[in-house]
Amino acid sequence: QHRHTANYAPPKLLIVAIDPGTSGHKVGIAFTYILWGRYDQAITVLQKTDLHQRDNLSSLAYAYASKGMKTKALEIIKQLKDYPKQNLYDLALIYGVLGEDDQAFVLLEKVLQKRGKSIVLLKVDPRLHRLRLVPQFMTLLKKIGLEQ
């Protein structure tokens, strides 16, 4: 679980006061809820986004996976695989939180091979916290020179 003080207001939540309607802001708010372990709230917010957009749909799958709703997350993964341009990094994140480490690392390796820009997030993306405990993660970091 992620810990925050009761008075901490993440910047993503402040966006809602400025422009609560845009999909990107809703995803940011949902991500904050996920970090706080408030999965139901994250799912509610994400269900109100345009789920025809791949990134919104993958965020919803990640929220379901984080809550332990594996079946729902896998259903969305099937939908995401139908998109002509897949976001392999996002799929790896979902598989990682589901505990399907081998599949997550296969996808992260593909991101690396394709020189995907998301690969630079490996050391800092909080959604990878569980995968960082797996020895394969350090191997991947070494391949891209981020092991230090």
pLDDT tens profile 5-40 = 444 445 444 444 445 555 568 888 999 999 899 999
Distance (Å, whole) CA 8 – CA 83: 37
Q: Two tokens at 39? A: 């999965």
- pLDDT band for position 119 (cuts 50, 70, 90): confident
- pLDDT band for position 148 (cuts 50, 70, 90): low
- pLDDT band for position 145 (cuts 50, 70, 90): confident
| pTM of the entire predicted model | 0.81
For 51, other C-beta atoms within 10 Å of its C-beta total 15
pLDDT tens profile 37-52 = 999 999 999 999 898 9
In this structure, which amino acid lies at residue 115? R
